[in-house]
Amino acid sequence: MAGVSSESLAAALADLETTLPTASLSLARELFGVLGILDSSAGLRRALTDPSREGAEKSALVRSLLEGKVSADAVEITARLAASRWADARDISDALETLASTVAIAVAEQGIGASNGLSGLERLQNDLFAFNRVVEGNHELQAALTEPQASTDAKRSLALRVAPEASEEAKLLIGQAAAAPRGAKPTALVEKFAALAAGRQKRWIAEVAVARPLNGGQAERLQSGLNRLYGRELKMNTTVDPRLIGGLRVTVGDEVLDASTVARLGELRRQLATHAR
């Protein structure tokens, strides 16, 4: 997915963040169900991605199809996707798959019994990786999960028997990958789901690079400050990088806080170059 479709997906994920704190696994199931409807109708996908139609018109079509059948959140998420622009008709389905799996991942992140979001995400990833290890080590199981004549329910049931101890979120994602791999191997789709979970996990990890080792008090103050700044208890991984000369650089997810001497020197050079023009 590239260009305008990538932009639409990024906007949809940003919008989804407001829903995730109260989202339940049922919303993920509903979105996967809507995905099944889209995947079963090339005409509907074309109608929802037709660049000659207004976004409001495409949203209205979604509402007429889904209202009363799924939750208001599921309708709204799908309607917003339809109102966006897509380079290819398949892209809207790919985007909905990403949103549905992101909901399931966020539910794991907030799961009951997890001491913080990081531990919930770690368990989810471990469950997904464990499923893939079993499948990849058993050729008969691989063949059964990709058997064209087998029903989707049979494939889902078989996959869930492989992972009886997995979390409910992992079972939903594993079952979806087995029943509707959408042209990919089930293990490849499970790997994609694990990668999405890893991306969300980065929000809970602060990668800290320092010019010199921190003493205990400095590390505690930095930990406390970062927790307050991000509103969550981060896991801090600290490495020493003498190239920084002084200060530190903190990376949390896609955000970089750079207070190093190297960064300040770089900014000074840019300012000097600007003034010299």
Pairwise CA distance, residues 106 & 31, whole Å? 14
* C-alpha distance from residue 60 to each of 39, 70, 105 (Å): 19, 15, 29
Pairwise CA distance, residues 271 & 273, whole Å? 5
What's the confidence (pLDDT) of residue 254? Answer: 83
Neighbours of 129 (CB within 10 A): 14
Q: How many CA atoms lie within 13 A of 239 on its CB side?
A: 9
Q: Do the beta carbons of residue 179 and residue 153 sit within 8 Å?
A: yes
| Partner residues linked to 67 by β-bridges | 70
pLDDT digits (tens, 9 = 90+) for 44-76: 999 999 999 999 999 999 999 999 999 999 999
With CA atoms as reference, report the closest residue to 237 among 247, 222, 225.
Answer: 222
**Amino acid identity for residue 195 in this structure:** A
Helix, strand or coil, per DSSP, at residue 7? helix
| Domain layout of the chain by residue ranges | 4-109, 203-276
What's the confidence (pLDDT) of residue 116? Answer: 59
Over residues 83-106, the mean pLDDT reads: 97
Q: Do the beta carbons of residue 2 and residue 94 sit within 8 Å?
A: no
Over residues 264-271, the mean pLDDT reads: 72
| Among 83-97, 157-171, 243-257, the least confident range | 243-257
Alpha helices in the chain (DSSP H): 4-16, 25-39, 42-49, 55-66, 72-83, 89-109, 117-136, 139-145, 152-162, 168-179, 186-201, 216-230, 261-276
- 114 pLDDT exceeds 90? no
What's the confidence (pLDDT) of residue 230? Answer: 86
Burial 178-206 (b: 16+ CB within 10 A, else e): bbbbeeebbbebbbbbbebbeebbbbbeb
* C-alpha distance from residue 135 to each of 18, 63, 130, 146, 188 (Å): 36, 39, 9, 11, 11
